[in-house]
Structure 1
Amino acid sequence: MYTTHTAPWSDPYNERDSQYIFVSYTLSFPVISFVFHTSFWFIIAIVDASARSIKKTAKFDINQARSHEVDVTLDVDTAHPKLKIHGNSLQWTNESPQRKIEVENCFDEEPFVLGKMGSPLKTYWEVNVKEKDDWVLGVAKVTANRKGPLAFSPTNGFWVIRLSNGQRLKAMEDEEHVLDKGIPDKVGIYLDYQERKVTFFNAEEDSLIYSFINGPSYQDDVLPLFSPWNNDAKPITILPITAT
């Protein structure tokens, strides 16, 4: 007695299964495409919303910083002898020394002066540097070196940005960091001891220039630092507190 075997590929159930799989795939493909397409644009929308949120946050940050604005004055006892100080403006002069040198406190070689202010946990001030091709702004530890050539870096107690030749804006980290930013006419400096950050803003455009995230602690005791540099007589000026 012979038994007849049907090849699996001729099994009617297998054929129906194959047809079912084909039809299911055919029907599913548009659905999968739709889901993928929708998900893609949904992700794009989220990214775009996040970008807008970041921009809003950046603008809010400077407004928040301005709420901590303080009155900063120049400490003439720390000034290089050839810095001419009038009120809250300072400029370089090639004339004879402008004052008696306080040997212990002053910068004796490079054209700098420290500022004086209160000591809250958060402080903000603005400086007009319009039409200046060279300047240095930021903060320095009270104990930072003031004699001879200065080495700007957080390690040495300086958190500053520097403009050179009217075109190279740099953050003076332990390694210089060239900033791909427009040259500001007005700079806002925000010192936040709690977050240990020193942040610089373009105060006219309300935009971020740079933020040191390795800033000083409250125990470090830092002060504002200013320099109009020594290649022209144009002044830089600490701006008065903005009325709110």
Structure 2
Amino acid sequence: MKESMTNRIKQEQAHKTQELQNQLSQCTNALESSEELLEFASRTMDIKEPEEFTKAARQIKDRVTMAAAFRLSLKPKVSDNMTYLMVDFSQERQMIQGLKFLPVPKAPEIDPADCIVADNCVTVSWRMPEEDNKIDHYVLEYRKTNYDGLPRVKDERCWETVDDIKGTEHILSGLKFDSKYMNFRVRACNKAVAGEYSDPVTLETKALIFGLDNTSSHLNLKVEDSYVEWDPMGGDSTIESGQHYWEVKAQKDCKSYSVGITYKTIGKFDQLGKTNTSWCLHVNNWLQATFAAKHNNKAKALEVAVPDKIGVYCDFDGGQLSFYNSETKQLLHSFKTKFTQPVVPAFMAWCGGITLYTGLQVPSAVRTLQKAENGLSGSSSSLTSNAQ
């Protein structure tokens, strides 16, 4: 095939070269004839005899009429097109014209009313403005903010991405709500291209956020933002209303610790549960393991196993303080009182440390238990009081 095409090209080249050479030769001959005719006409102008001049003029007329220069075309007889090498793309053109391209998906719409924020999970739901059966998957992005709306430029945080979502709903679980709000946006993708993002929506993520206040501790206390070793310690955020929840986990080698709430008036050397302004659960692992609820220097032994992590629920307006097994949501103990001052989360540890888990919403199971028990289950009349 290659040799045949090469021979064909050489033959075509030889033929066209010969044609052009012939045409060039004809033009050269015509040019020479024209030059001779011009020279003859120039000499005729010098003839004095009328009869001779008339005869010469007639000769010039005949020669001009028969001159080859007036019958030649200056356009080349051949072109440089190789017509036999042209490819027929008609079939391919027809195939291309028959292609149906996927359109860019439209931006989905997120309806905040269909979204759910509960148990430190966010369920985000969206819909397409019109049905599109070419959608392959969705991409959900979210970020935290402390502003009701889009984050300010100076406070802008990076979007986190969840890819390859097949449905029009996604649940983000295990979140730590350490900001007041979260922004969400989503876009649709087909197999060819991704569409525009939806308009961002902002959802409120209420939860109690606090750290440890090292100014409220003993000088020998080792304090980090959510970790404490030795002696009483208060949180850095007060509770003045609403329902709140946080969790506490002790180190395995911790000999003794307490967890609860107190008024900010407690002294650095006061023990939790020894005053009428503090309520706590106390775990003692020294010689004989004990687990008790304490308030106003009174204690009630609890006949339940000490959980690995204790959940603390405080309903300030309802005067309720309850403790739960954070894994099973078993109610460990409840205090019923009337808070007359703002309270702070309080902790105490000896020979070991405890870790705090904040940014948590009140679990749905705890809310259900509170309604079912009406705040009475696990309470002791000897520990129920009005703190002044």
Q: What range describes the TM-score normalised by the shorter chain of this pair? A: 0.5 to 0.7
Distance 1:151 1:71, change over 3 A: closer
Q: Secondary structure at the match of 1:156?
A: coil
Q: Partner residue of 1:113?
A: 233
2:209 to 71, 75, 80: 71
**Aligned-partner residue type, residue 349 of structure 2:** P
Residue in structure 1 matching 2:354, options 228, 236, 240: 236
Per-residue Cα deviation, 1:140-192 (whole angstroms, up to 9, x for no partner): 01223x15454725x62011110112621110134310000111111111111
Partner of 2:243: 122
Q: TM-score by structure 1 length?
A: 0.57
Out of 306, 312, 317, the position equivalent to 1:194 is: 317
2:212/2:235 contact within 8 Å kept: yes
1:96-126 residue CA offsets vs partner (Å, 9 max, x unmatched): xxxxxxxxxxxxxxx1111022544211111
Contact residue 259 and residue 282 of structure 2 kept, 8 A: yes
Task: Name which of 226, 229, 250 aligns with 1:88.
Answer: 226
**Contact 2:208–2:246 (CA under 8 A) maintained in structure 1:** yes
1:184 to 298, 302, 307: 307
RCO greater where, 1 or 2, for CA within 8 Å and sep 6 or more?
1
Q: CA deviation at 1:240?
A: 4.0
Q: AA paired with 1:91?
A: E
Would the alpha carbon gap of residues 225 and 149 (structure 1) be closer, same or farther in structure 2, given more than 3 Å must change?
A: closer
Specify every segment of 5 or more residues in structure 2 that has no aligned partner in the other structure, as ranges.
1-118, 121-176, 178-204, 364-388
Confirm or deny: 8 A CA contact 1:68 1:122 kept in the other structure: no
Structure 1's consecutive aligned runs of 4 or more residues displaced over 6 angstroms after TM superposition are none
In structure 2, relative to structure 1, the CA distance for the partners of 1:163 and 1:78 (3 Å cut) is same
Partner of 1:161: 281
Distance (whole Å) between structure 2 residues aligned to residue 162 and residue 212 of structure 1 = 14
Change (3 A) 1:149 1:89: closer
Of the three residues 324, 339, 345, the one matched with 1:224 is 345
Q: How many residues align?
A: 156
3-state secondary structure, aligned to 1:77: helix
**Which structure's CA Rg is the greater one?**
2
Structure-2 change in CA distance of 1:151 and 1:122 (3 Å) = closer
In 1, distance between residues paired with 2:354 and 2:293? 19
Give how far 1:225 is off.
0.5
Deviation at 1:128, TM superposition (A): 1.3
Identity of aligned residues (%): 24
Q: TM-score, normalised by structure 2?
A: 0.37
* 1:197 and 1:211 in contact (8 A); partners too: yes
Matched-pair contact (CA < 8 Å) for 2:312–2:322: yes
What's the counterpart of residue 135 of structure 1?
Answer: 257
Structural mapping, 1:12-23, within 5 Å: none
Q: Deviations over 1:17-58 (max 9, x none)?
A: xxxxxxxxxxxxxxxxxxxxxxxxxxxxxxxxxxxxxxxxxx
Q: Secondary structure at the match of 2:359?
A: coil
Is there any run of 5+ residues in structure 1 with no aligned partner, and where? 1-62, 93-110
